[in-house]
A = this chain, B = another copy of it.
């Protein structure tokens, strides 16, 4: 009976990794759609978000069911409660990819991002992709050193976010208010996505140690 339960716990972890893969893929395609004004790709990201939502709901139901049937304690209980939180983070990260794709769709056939900011936005997309891949690795490995190192990628995202604002606030910014609003929101979507990824990694720290990572970071 305990073995079947631990198979179920493993399946939970595999679903979280699957969610990471879908979210990373969504954010990557959303960035491409944004920078190349690819309407078809943007629409795909928007409609594919339902798959992430479905995985999230299905995983939550499975976890509640496991809790009720198996009455886990200690580490197993912590694993399940933490998985519910990670699932919520990943679902939200999917929403943020969806938001990026919606900006691409809203500005089509124009490209939403002006040339001055294309590289910064591409870099934000790259950091988001990298941080999601690393998060997936941390969920699989439970490597606490790797979990804490995600903060460095988040620092890189914060640096790019500040760079974005510097460009927007330059006196020579020629693109007006509407584009500034789009860029402000896009910057926020990427930054929040990275924050949630860091949050998932910190939850792995809690799952393994039973302590919150906030004081150690």
Contact of A180 among B71, B77, B88, B177 (CB under 8 A): B177
A101 within 8 A of B: no
SS class, residues of chain A in contact with chain B: helix
A217 within 8 A of B: no
| Residues in chain B near residue A74, CB distance under 8 A | 68
A169 within 8 A of B: yes
Given the complex of chains A and B, what is the CA–CA distance between A71 and B185 in angstroms? 44
Chain A interface category by residue count:
20 to 34
Are A169 and B178 in touch, CB under 8 angstroms? yes
Are B64 and A68 in touch, CB under 8 angstroms? no
- 23 pairs, CB–CB < 8 Å, chain A vs chain B: A57-B212, A64-B81, A67-B67, A67-B81, A68-B74, A68-B77, A71-B71, A81-B81, A84-B84, A84-B85, A85-B88, A88-B88, A168-B177, A168-B181, A169-B177, A169-B178, A169-B181, A177-B177, A177-B180, A180-B184, A181-B181, A184-B184, A188-B188
